[in-house]
Chains A and B, each alone.
Chain A
Amino acid sequence: MTVSVHDLTVTYHDRPAIQGVSVEARTRAVTGIIGPNGAGKSTVLKAVMGLLRPDTGTVRIDGRPLSAVRHTIAYLPQRQGLDWDYPAQVRDVVAMGRFPYLRFGRRRRRRDHEAVAVALERVGLSELATRHIGELSGGQQQRMLVARALAQEASTLLLDEPFVGVDAATVAMLSQLLVDVAADGACVVVVHHDLATTAQMCDHLVLLNQTVVTQGPTARVFTSEWLDRTYAADPGGVTARHAS
């Protein structure tokens, strides 16, 4: 699965969020989109999923339009956007990943139960399968959402700031897991604002600040020079901010 975004422009209330963004995220790789706050990182993700209508540009996945491959795309929302008092147990949320495979109104089949069990096992939550989701720690909640994407057997994973408010042990585990998932043949795209874990996890980086500053293999792009340009570049041309 290759996600290619071509010449994407999105405006909110007459203000451009992203302009002429072309991004290529390849299969068997973890692609990181990094940039300062308000750079339009989440906007790119949402546009890839067709959650908002771009002014210009196209999104193709393996050369096909989005509508043809939607069920193979897993989106992991920012953890804070979900209602953790919602009446669901860990296994229920992970089982939501099976939705695209289920026939209208039918029961789940053994294949679905197995996929859920395997996904739980991989993120180390098997023992917590019947816990209420509100009783999980931040890191466990994030692992559960990754398990949902695994159960979906998605070939494209889009993660929006997965490491916010998550403990270091989980960050280490999840980044390894994402690297493994990519190695198994998936295309993983992570929106990131924390630079610390980026270099070791991502094969490919897109430095974004309303437009693509640069993109390429991490080794080439993750340099102080490019980062300075990304975090200092002010499209409004008024001030220059620096990366923290």
Chain B
Amino acid sequence: MIELLIDPLTQYGFMRLGLAAAVTVGVTSAVLSCLLVVRHQALLGDAISHAVLLGVAVGYLFAQTAGIFWGALVVAVATGTLITWVERHSPVKLDAVMGIVFTATFALGLTLISITKPRGIDLFHILFGNVLGVSGSDLALTVASGVTVLLVVLVRFRAFHLWSFDPLMARAIGMRVGVLEYLLTGLLSATIVAALQAVGLILVIAMLITPGAAALLLTTRLRTMMLVAAVVGMVSAVGGLYLSFYVDVASGPAIVLVATGAFAMALVFAPRRGLFARALHRRRAARRVLREDLLKELFDHDDPDAVTPLADVGRWLRARSSNLRSLRRLARRGLVSVRADGACLTAAGKREALRMVRTHRLLERYAHDADGVALPQLHDVAERREHEIDAAGLRDIDRLLGAPRVDPHGHPIPSRAGELRRIAGGPLSARPVGVAGRVAMVGDDRSDLLERMVTLGILPDRRVTVLRHTDEGPVVRVGDDDVLCVSDDLAERVYVVSGDPDTPTAPDV
């Protein structure tokens, strides 16, 4: 195995030179690709590399092979400058300016080459690279520009970091961002010219995007992103070169394909931001929502030890397009005990359910008081938020609201220790005639009925008296004078107490 890697190097000098050149180019362009990717400027490399063809043609015209490097460098910097200048001084946007400038310089380069037909320029090699044809002096130039580029990035790292994250702040504190912009263009140009031999003008574009994009998926900091990108660039260079040696394919494309493979792997398998991890995360989140909702469903406020028949649980789960497996998962976690006649919450399950109830009701209070959400919409809003908020967020809300005791529907909010106050009393539908009472809470399971209660003014703390019960529902006096007939559906959801509103009872858990 080791021989497979070493033999080509000891036997062929061109492999040694080629490997050194490819690795230098791979690492340098990978580091720059990070800056381009985070600045949303991936196409700048594209633009400058096309323009380099013109530089190659012009340089050769002046000084044959020796002029190629310098011609390319001058034209690349000039093109970058031109792009920046046109963009600043005309309403045309950057992408269009780049498109125009790079195709124009590329066309001009091609024209020049087809007119002068220089014998020393192999168009195919310029465009697609010929890393195995690298000479000693080529390598020296490549390494020199690579090292220069890396040093500049290292020294100006913090400036690039700040400028690329928040350009407005960079300008506000007086950084000369124009200088940075030209500096980046210059670095790009040097890298592209150095990459000419290794991967060629067209394929270097990939090396100026792909390693950075792969690294972005794998890291959370710019400096680690650059390190990871450098590794990707290096592995691509080495892998591609050996691939081309043993499988006999062109080296430039092989290097690019290895890099693309690395990107594809990162895209799918990156620990946090990969497709796989995100799908897993979504699935876990969906399961958690289901688990929390199921706990709330099994929790009976009147009788915490109640056993819910399995048939009922099954119906509820099917309505959420799930099955009894979710129930079994809860049982495995020790939150639910499943018996022959049904399911009931364990002590831990009750605690968890009370925590959910507390979260939900605090969020309702918050949505009502702080965001001004109307009563009928509260339940849905809280339902959406309750699965996302963490313990710290909930504590903040509790503190901000001054540890409220009831939600806007009048339901008691369990304390942080998990104590739930009971509210004595009964529904309006079962209220004795002629006895005045106070609305303690209203049911929040049907927003249409809540809507109606808001219209009728049957809300927590209002005084109500049933005048008589009819087939359509009770006739009720609300407050001092409004007399209304309400439906049984609604009356069942209005909870009325006489006298002292809440009677503390022993904690449920």
Q: Which residues of B contact A82 (CB under 8 A)?
A: 165-166
Q: Check A88–B165 contact: CB distance below 8 A.
A: yes
Q: Check B161–A92 contact: CB distance below 8 A.
A: yes
Q: Which of B161, B219, B221, B393 contacts A96 (CB 8 A)?
A: B161
Q: Provide the A87-111 mask, 1 if CB < 8 A to any CB of B, else 0.
A: 1110011001001101011000000
Q: In whole Å, how far is A197's beta carbon from the nearest beta carbon of chain B?
A: 12
Q: Check B396–A169 contact: CB distance below 8 A.
A: yes
Q: Check A88–B221 contact: CB distance below 8 A.
A: yes
- In the bound complex, CA of A132 to CA of B165 (Å): 13
Q: Check A89–B221 contact: CB distance below 8 A.
A: yes
* B128 CB within 8 Å of chain A: no
Most interface-central of A67, A70, A92, A152 (chain B CB within 10 A): A92
Q: Check A75–B169 contact: CB distance below 8 A.
A: yes
* A81 CB within 8 Å of chain B: yes
User: Which B residue's beta carbon lies closest to that of A67?
Assistant: B174
Q: Check B168–A96 contact: CB distance below 8 A.
A: no
User: Which A residue's beta carbon lies closest to that of B366?
Assistant: A168
Q: Check B220–A71 contact: CB distance below 8 A.
A: no
Known: A70-B172, A168-B366. A105 touches B155 (CB 8 A): yes
Q: In whole Å, how far is A113's beta carbon from the nearest beta carbon of chain B?
A: 14
* A243 CB within 8 Å of chain B: no
User: Which A residue's beta carbon lies closest to that of B218?
Assistant: A87
Q: Check B165–A86 contact: CB distance below 8 A.
A: yes
Which of chain B's residues 364-412 have a Cβ closer than 8 Å to chain A?
366, 370-371, 393, 396-397, 399-400
* A73 CB within 8 Å of chain B: yes
Q: Provide the B64-79 mask, 1 if CB < 8 A to any CB of A, else 0.
A: 0000000000000000
- In the bound complex, CA of A104 to CA of B221 (Å): 21
Q: Check B220–A132 contact: CB distance below 8 A.
A: yes
Q: In whole Å, how far is A26's beta carbon from the nearest beta carbon of chain B?
A: 21
User: Which A residue's beta carbon lies closest to that of B34?
Assistant: A87
- In the bound complex, CA of A100 to CA of B173 (Å): 7
Q: Which residues of A contact B169 (CB under 8 A)?
A: 75, 77, 96
User: Which B residue's beta carbon lies closest to that of A100?
Assistant: B173
* B112 CB within 8 Å of chain A: no
User: Which A residue's beta carbon lies closest to that of B400?
Assistant: A169
Q: Provide the B134-168 mask, 1 if CB < 8 A to any CB of A, else 0.
A: 00000000000000000000111011011011101
* B222 CB within 8 Å of chain A: yes
Q: In whole Å, how far is B32's beta carbon from the nearest beta carbon of chain A?
A: 15
**How many of chain B's residues have a CB under 8 angstroms from any CB in A?**
34
* B21 CB within 8 Å of chain A: no
* A83 CB within 8 Å of chain B: yes
Q: Which residues of A contact B175 (CB under 8 A)?
A: 99
Q: Which residues of B contact A96 (CB under 8 A)?
A: 158, 161-162, 165-166, 169
Which of chain A's residues 127-185 have a Cβ closer than 8 Å to chain B?
132, 137, 152, 167-169, 172
Q: Which residues of A contact B370 (CB under 8 A)?
A: 167-168
* A49 CB within 8 Å of chain B: yes
Q: Check A71–B174 contact: CB distance below 8 A.
A: yes
Q: Which residues of A contact B220 (CB under 8 A)?
A: 87-89, 132
Most interface-central of B155, B168, B175 (chain A CB within 10 A): B168
Q: Check B173–A73 contact: CB distance below 8 A.
A: yes
Q: Provide the B192-215 mask, 1 if CB < 8 A to any CB of A, else 0.
A: 000000000000000000000000
- In the bound complex, CA of A238 to CA of B221 (Å): 52
* B467 CB within 8 Å of chain A: no
- In the bound complex, CA of A111 to CA of B366 (Å): 41
Q: Which residues of B contact A74 (CB under 8 A)?
A: 172
Q: Which residues of A contact B161 (CB under 8 A)?
A: 88, 92, 96
- In the bound complex, CA of A88 to CA of B223 (Å): 9
- In the bound complex, CA of A168 to CA of B373 (Å): 13
Q: Which of B40, B168, B172, B219 contacts A81 (CB 8 A)?
A: B168
Q: Check B221–A87 contact: CB distance below 8 A.
A: yes
Which of chain A's residues 46-80 have a Cβ closer than 8 Å to chain B?
49-51, 67, 70-71, 73-75, 77
Q: Which residues of A contact B225 (CB under 8 A)?
A: 87
Q: Which residues of A contact B174 (CB under 8 A)?
A: 67, 70-71, 100
Q: Check B221–A92 contact: CB distance below 8 A.
A: yes
Most interface-central of B169, B216, B366 (chain A CB within 10 A): B169
- In the bound complex, CA of A96 to CA of B166 (Å): 10
Q: In whole Å, how far is A122's beta carbon from the nearest beta carbon of chain B?
A: 16
Q: Check B165–A83 contact: CB distance below 8 A.
A: yes
- In the bound complex, CA of A67 to CA of B161 (Å): 22
- In the bound complex, CA of A87 to CA of B217 (Å): 9
Which of chain A's residues 15-62 have a Cβ closer than 8 Å to chain B?
49-51
Q: Check A99–B171 contact: CB distance below 8 A.
A: no
Chain B: residues with CB nearer than 8 A to chain A? 38, 40, 154-156, 158-159, 161-162, 164-166, 168-169, 171-175, 216, 219-222, 224-225, 366, 370-371, 393, 396-397, 399-400
Q: 18 A–B contact pairs at CB < 8 A?
A: A50-B171, A51-B168, A51-B171, A77-B168, A81-B168, A82-B165, A83-B40, A86-B38, A87-B219, A88-B220, A92-B161, A92-B221, A93-B165, A96-B162, A96-B169, A99-B158, A99-B175, A169-B396
Chain A: residues with CB nearer than 8 A to chain B? 49-51, 67, 70-71, 73-75, 77, 81-83, 85-89, 92-93, 96, 99-100, 102, 104-105, 132, 137, 152, 167-169, 172
12 further contact pairs, Cβ within 8 A, besides A86-B164, A92-B161, A137-B393: A71-B174, A73-B173, A82-B165, A83-B38, A93-B165, A96-B161, A100-B174, A105-B155, A152-B173, A168-B371, A169-B397, A172-B400
Nearest 9 interchain pairs by C-beta: A70-B174, A168-B370, A132-B220, A75-B172, A105-B155, A169-B396, A49-B172, A87-B225, A169-B400
